A = this chain, B = another copy of it.
Amino acid sequence: MPQVEDRISRRQVDKFAERRTQLAAAALQTLSELGYARTSLREIAQNSEFSHGVLHYYFRDKVELITHCVRQYKAECVKRYDEIVADAKTADELRKGFGAAMAGTLREDATLHRLWYDLRNQSLFEEAFRVDVLDIDQSLERMIWRIVSRYSELSGLPLAVGSGTAYGVFDGLFQQGLLRHLSGIEDAADELQASVELVLGQLAR
């Protein structure tokens, strides 16, 4: 049996990587259901079609598996959000589209977002995750900044805040919406949409 490092860089790289993403997807699902604290390797394996031993064939240890998960999440996440930037023609169209997209992903991908905030918090305690988490966070910040600055462009109004502030504001609104939504508050998504549109209008005057 070759070393993990060798296996990664061999001929059938694609097949090996394919299984890795397959297992990472099972891990992602388990994590989004149970959260980091209650997710075990055996539980992850049960959400796949393999036994628990195989995880150590494709990943060195648990940290590498979860790190890989986080990276995989990022790809899915940015792709998801980048569809939002869309091709709005007017400032108002962009503002409404942004609010609707936020509310939409809150409704549909609540458990995934819950996982993201969980992992981001874990990175505050476990340094192993920090680099990847910060990387994702920055890409999310850029994504928000693209929208906000484009809004300023379309509306002709100057922005009152910078990139980091804008991200903090909208991320806070979203997290608050997530908390309410998962607590069973019916109109949490609607309220988020209204808040987002309102605040975006306030940041460019």
Contact = CB atoms under 8 A, between A and B. Distances in A.
Contacts of A170: 172
A91 B183 CA distance: 35
Interface residues of A, number: 44
Interface string A16-43: 0000000000000000001111100000
Given A118-B125, A173-B172, A175-B175, A199 B165 contact: yes
A67 interface: no
A30 to B, nearest CB: 12
Contacts of A82: none
A169 B200 CA distance: 11
A107 interface: no
Contact of A195 (B38, B168, B179, B195): B168
A78 interface: no
A164 interface: yes
Contacts of A121: 35, 114, 117-118, 121
Copies in the complex: 2
Nearest to A167: B176
Interface in A154-205: 160-161, 164-165, 167-180, 182-183, 191, 195, 198-199, 202-203, 205
Contact of A160 (B38, B134, B202): B202
Contact of A169 (B130, B164, B199): B199
A168 B160 contact: no
Contacts of A122: 35, 37
Given A165-B198, A172-B171, A198-B161, A183 B125 contact: no
A198 B169 CA distance: 12
Interface in A52-88: none
Contacts of A126: 35
B36 A160 contact: no
A175 B121 CA distance: 10
